[in-house]
Amino acid sequence: MELLQERSRLESELAWAHVSRLERSLRSLGEESDRKKRKLNRITEKIGETGENMKAKLESLSKLRFERNEGFFTLLGLEKEKSGNEIFTKLSHEVLERLDSHLGGIKSSSNPHAGDESEIAKWLSELTLQADAAASRLRSLRRRSPLSNPNSIGLRRR
């Protein structure tokens, strides 16, 4: 009888030890689950932050592309204006040279159109002023144009 009681007590103790092991195992699994949940939350937050950063970077990239395109078209307009002024200046100087040589020929000859000489001289003077203004504007455009100064737009000559 005593052996039966001892056996019953040992079986009971064995059962409680098993329950205790199961409780520890359950606590350990719960702690591991909590750790994994916290890690998952950190990863989720990191993904959210990365997504926000990426969105901000894409917006910044879009703005930079817009500014680049805007600068390009401004540059294109300036180059177009500069080319037009170069052509005007060159043609004006050619016309002035021709008129000057014709005016010299008129002065040296005894031309009955001597009264026209003052009008031609006046017109020649106006053309000279216009050509000088165009040349001045052309110099100004060359100073402003990044293509005339590659360092101003970050280009380096090799």
User: pLDDT, tens digit, for every residue of 108-134?
Assistant: 655 555 556 677 777 778 777 887 887
In tens, the pLDDT along 64-75 reads 999 999 999 999
State how far the Cα of 107 lies from the Cα of 120, in Å rounded to an integer: 11
Give the span between the Cα atoms of 44 and 38, in whole angstroms.
10
Provide the whole-model pTM: 0.48
Q: Rounded distance, CA 72 to CA 12, Å?
A: 88
Give CA angle at 108 (102, 109), nearest 5°. 90
pLDDT at site 147 = 60
Residue 154 clears pLDDT 70, i.e. is over it: no
The radius of gyration of the chain from alpha carbons, rounded to an integer in Å, stands at 46
- Geometric angle at alpha carbon 138, from 133 and 144, rounded to 5°: 130
2 token code pair: 């005593």
As a whole number, the mean pLDDT across the chain is 83
Per-residue pLDDT tens over the stretch 88-104: 888 888 887 877 777 67
Would the pLDDT of 150 be above 70?
A: no
pLDDT confidence bin for 156, thresholds 50/70/90: very low
Q: What is the pLDDT of residue 89?
A: 82
CB 103 within 8 A of CB 119: no
Please, what are the domains in the chain? Answer: 17-153 (1.10.287)
Please tell me the predicted confidence (pLDDT) of residue 128. 79
